[in-house]
A and B are shown apart, each in its own frame.
Chain A
Amino acid sequence: AQSVAQPEDQVNVAEGNPLTVKCTYSVSGNPYLFWYVQYPNRGLQFLLKYITGDNLVKGSYGFEAEFNKSQTSFHLKKPSALVSDSALYFCAVREGSWGKLQFGAGTQVVVTP
């Protein structure tokens, strides 16, 4: 069975500092990995995905994520956080093309001025 874990409920970072949101996964086959962001009272917005190819994936709003197969991780990163990046971030995994898209519990990011 597939699973995805986000070990931090909340990440606090000062504006301008690097931001990292952690995600680990477990699947029996090839993982398809995604990051989404949710602003208050809004739907989820897609940020980036890893399907195959380069382990470093670049996405929207300056975010990137690194796929690490040996550590079964897919951490989200941004070199310089903005106050407007404050939101709820979800990691998701799909096992193969037809597997269900399963979400982690979410990590609240708080960026302070």
Chain B
Amino acid sequence: DTAVSQTPKYLVTQMGNDKSIKCEQNLGHDTMYWYKQDSKKFLKIMFSYNNKELIINETVPNRFSPKSPDKAHLNLHINSLELGDSAVYFCASSQSGANEAFFGQGTRLTVV
């Protein structure tokens, strides 16, 4: 079983559309994250949830809205997609404290 799974793996969509990326972890972790990796491979944290509560919210356009229905899931909804949103989005999870994060395989979003 995949520890952190994201769907879809690839997403191609037109500007202005609304799309969602889903993430699930089966590790029993209490903290989940969304990261954005740009074309230069730079990784930037977007959001972090601990026990379904938002604890980190970086400077991200409010078109991006995370939702955590339970500790095992953290979804990312993006409204009014723009060309600059094209990137690879990674979901990750960790057990709170000083522990390492486990990453999903990523969702490559292409906005055309």
B-binding residues in A (CB < 8 A): 32, 34, 36, 38, 41-46, 49, 51, 88, 90, 94, 97-98, 100-103, 105-106
- Cβ-defined contact, A42 with B98, below 8 A: no
Distance between A5 CB and nearest chain B CB, rounded to angstroms:
13
- Cβ-defined contact, A106 with B42, below 8 A: yes
Known contacts being A43-B90, A43-B106, is A100 close to B56, with CB within 8 Å?
A: yes
- Cβ-defined contact, B100 with A34, below 8 A: yes
User: For the complex, what is the distance from the CA of A106 to the CA of B100, rounded to whole Å?
Assistant: 17
- Cβ-defined contact, A51 with B106, below 8 A: no
Residues in B whose Cβ lies below 8 Å from that of A46: 100-102
User: For the complex, what is the distance from the CA of A68 to the CA of B87, rounded to whole Å?
Assistant: 34
Distance between A31 CB and nearest chain B CB, rounded to angstroms:
10
Closest Cβ neighbor of A108 among chain B residues: B41
User: For the complex, what is the distance from the CA of A45 to the CA of B41, rounded to whole Å?
Assistant: 15
Residues in A whose Cβ lies below 8 Å from that of B33: 101
- Cβ < 8 Å to A, chain B residues 76-93: 90, 92
Nearest 4 A/B pairs, CB to CB: A43-B103, A103-B43, A44-B103, A32-B98
User: For the complex, what is the distance from the CA of A2 to the CA of B100, rounded to whole Å?
Assistant: 17
Known contacts being A43-B90, A43-B105, is A97 close to B45, with CB within 8 Å?
A: no
Distance between B97 CB and nearest chain A CB, rounded to angstroms:
5
User: For the complex, what is the distance from the CA of A36 to the CA of B35, rounded to whole Å?
Assistant: 14
Distance between A51 CB and nearest chain B CB, rounded to angstroms:
5
B25 within 8 A of A: no
Residues in B whose Cβ lies below 8 Å from that of A94: 98
Residues in B whose Cβ lies below 8 Å from that of A38: 41
User: For the complex, what is the distance from the CA of A32 to the CA of B44, rounded to whole Å?
Assistant: 18
- Cβ-defined contact, A100 with B90, below 8 A: no
User: For the complex, what is the distance from the CA of A98 to the CA of B50, rounded to whole Å?
Assistant: 10
- Cβ-defined contact, A102 with B45, below 8 A: yes
Distance between B82 CB and nearest chain A CB, rounded to angstroms:
24
- Cβ-defined contact, B98 with A97, below 8 A: yes
Residues in B whose Cβ lies below 8 Å from that of A105: 40-42
